[in-house]
Amino acid sequence: MSTENWKTYEPVLIPDIKNLHTIEVYEKNGGYNALKSVLTDKKKWPDQKSVINEVKEANIRGRGGAGFNAGLKWSFMPPADGGPRYLACNGDESEPGTFKDRKIFEYNPHAFIEGALIAAYAMEITTIYVYIRGEYRAYIQMMEKAIEDAYRKGFIGKKIFGSPFSVDFYVHSGAGAYICGEETSMLESLEGKRGYPRVKPPFPAQKGLWGRPTTINNIETLAHVTSVINRGAEWFKNVGAATHPGPILYGISGHVNKPGVYELPSGVPVLDLIHDVAGGMRNGKKLKAVIPGGSSTPVLRADQLDGITMDADSLRTVGSMLGTAGMVVMDEDTDMVDVLWRIAHFYHHESCGQCTPCREGTGWLEKILLKIKNGQGEIRDLDLLLDLTTQMEGRTICALADAAAWPVRFTINRFRDEFEARCKKSVHALV
């Protein structure tokens, strides 16, 4: 698809339909047809495998940030042995700049519920948990209401649509820890333990919740499953960029006129998103930098953005990633030292403290950045910061250390003159 086609795209997940979040309106608009078809239309869906294959074929790349093919992930589940199996839906979204799942909870919770139910059927799962960050108090309540409604209508529970498939669905509220969005520490948290990421292997598909096979999917990913079943893998594959197909919920924030969540095909040019979708830069200022997919993805300078589209391959050519497509736009007045310090502060605050490099490294990064920000920095501090990022990256159990290290490395590399200028102005007290 050419980069212009996004202009004609009709939203599927968050269409402009009033009260779509209620089960009645959702049903009126074809809701739960996908589930019904999967469970009852034996011609189209002879077995669970056919569902998995369809999803695999669609190549829904996980929308939680890692971008792994969801159908492929499903196929890693070992054969059912009669014991419990779990689907854990990750709605912890805590990465700064990311707020897309919230939109689903608010506007179209049943699309997600339906997708999760289809996933559960495909993997012969007995229990679904949806883990929602504790700060989303209102959305947790909305989700509980939606699940209650679906139970009432018989879409969740025993023998759904008269098929042998039964499943339970629970909402679990987080308690404000970013780390619990990491899939294995989310499992620990669900089990009622301290949110420490687990060492992999064993992978959750082998040993997940309470040691049983578990699949973890992002909320948006599961919502897309419903569309794939409704419209077919072919349709999904033909939306957006070829290697990263399908619609994406872009969360655009920062110095733009119309920040918000926009459902558009993948591969929309970054500059189009800023200028056409989000209404251009606020107060007519000049664009300075963009963080494309949540605070951990490397920041891009305005001069790097020409012709770059929002998909993994295109962003890789300029050294960044799609992440969660939570784009942060910054104008010319932005102080990059401040930005980086704030990001480092976040990761320092959120490091769980299990592994040494992350526990100690995130704090050290923040302290040096604070020193620079307060006009006490020295040029050598910049090299120390870069050194620390290599000391942290790839040396820990989960990816939080990487997420903390990348912004530091790339922000300094791409805005080094700004950091150096700040350091040169430093005033040191005579000792």
Partner 1 sequence: MPEVIIDGHKYEFEGEQRLLQFIQDQGKEVPFFCYHPSMTAPANCRQCMVKVGQYVRDRESGEYEADENGEKVVRWFPKLQTSCNLMMSDGMVVHTQETDELVKRAQKDNLELILINHPLDCPICDQAGECPLQIQTYKYGPEGSRFEVKKVHKPKRVQLGPRVVLDAERCINCTRCTRFTEEISKTNQLTITSRGDKNYPTAAPGTVFDDPYSLNTVDLCPVGALTSADFRFRARVWEMNQTPSIDITSGKGCNIDLWTRDNLILRITPRYNGDVNDHWMPDEGREAYKLFNENRISRPQQKLDNEQILSSWNNAIATFSELIEITDKKDILIVASPHASVEENYALSKYANLMGLMQPVFVAHIEKGKGDNFLLTDDLAPNTNGCKLLGFKEISSKSLKTQVSKAQLVIFIQDHFIDRGILSTEDIENKKIVIFSSNHSETTRSADLVIPVTCVAEHAASYVNTDMRIQRSFPAKETKYSNRRLNLEMSEGRLDRHGTHFDNWVTEDNKIDCLPVWTFITEVAAFSGIDLTLEDGRSVMEEIAGSLPAFSGVSYEEMDERNGMNLSAEKEKSKTDS
Which of 157, 260, 319, 363 binds partner 1 (CB under 8 A)? It is 363
Window 152 to 181, contacts with partner 1 (CB under 8 A): 177
Cβ-in-10-Å burial (0-12, 13-18, 19+) of 83 comes to: exposed
With binding defined as CB under 8 A, does residue 95 bind partner 1? no
The encoded tokens of residue 427 equal 């005033």
Which of 221, 309, 362, 411 binds partner 1 (CB under 8 A)? It is 362
Name the H helices within 154-192. Answer: 183-190
With binding defined as CB under 8 A, does residue 391 bind partner 1? yes
Stretch that binds partner 1, among 164-172, 230-238, 261-269, 360-368 (CB under 8 A): 360-368
Least CB distance to partner 1 at residue 370 (A): 8
Q: In terms of CB distance, is 215 or 396 closer to partner 1? A: 396
Which helix H or strand E contains 90, and what residues bound it? Answer: strand 86-91
Stretch that binds partner 1, among 95-103, 240-248, 251-259, 394-402 (CB under 8 A): 394-402
With binding defined as CB under 8 A, does residue 379 bind partner 1? no
With binding defined as CB under 8 A, does residue 199 bind partner 1? yes
Write each residue from 296 to 335 as x if it is in contact with partner 1 (CB under 8 A), else as -, in one continuous string.
----------------------------------------
Least CB distance to partner 1 at residue 183 (A): 17
Least CB distance to partner 1 at residue 106 (A): 29
Give the span between the Cα atoms of 131 and 106, in whole angstroms. 15
Which of 354, 377, 382, 412 binds partner 1 (CB under 8 A)? It is 354
Please tell me the count of residues contacting partner 1 according to CB under 8 A.
28
With binding defined as CB under 8 A, does residue 126 bind partner 1? no
With binding defined as CB under 8 A, does residue 350 bind partner 1? yes
Largest CA distance in the chain: 83
Give the span between the Cα atoms of 328 and 97, in whole angstroms. 6
Task: List residues bridging with 366 in a β-sheet.
Answer: none
Give the CA-trace dihedral at 147, 151, 156, 158, to 10 degrees. Answer: 150
Who's near 82: CB < 8 A, 6+ residues apart? none
Stretch that binds partner 1, among 25-33, 64-72, 137-145, 358-366 (CB under 8 A): 358-366
Q: In terms of CB distance, is 360 or 418 closer to partner 1? A: 360
**β-pairing verdict for 300-301 and 287-291:** antiparallel
With binding defined as CB under 8 A, does residue 396 bind partner 1? yes
3-state DSSP assignment of residue 47: coil
Give the span between the Cα atoms of 281 and 302, in whole angstroms. 12
Among candidate residues 60, 119, 108, the one with its CA nearest the CA of residue 86:
119
The encoded tokens of residue 287 equal 């664009």
Lookup result for tokens 């993997």? 123
Q: In terms of CB distance, is 322 or 355 closer to partner 1? A: 355
Neighbour-count burial for 51-62, b at 16+ CB within 10 Å, e otherwise: bbbbbbbbbbbb
With binding defined as CB under 8 A, does residue 364 bind partner 1? yes
Binding residues for partner 1, rule: CB under 8 A, are: 177, 194, 199, 348-357, 359-364, 367-368, 371, 384, 391, 394-397
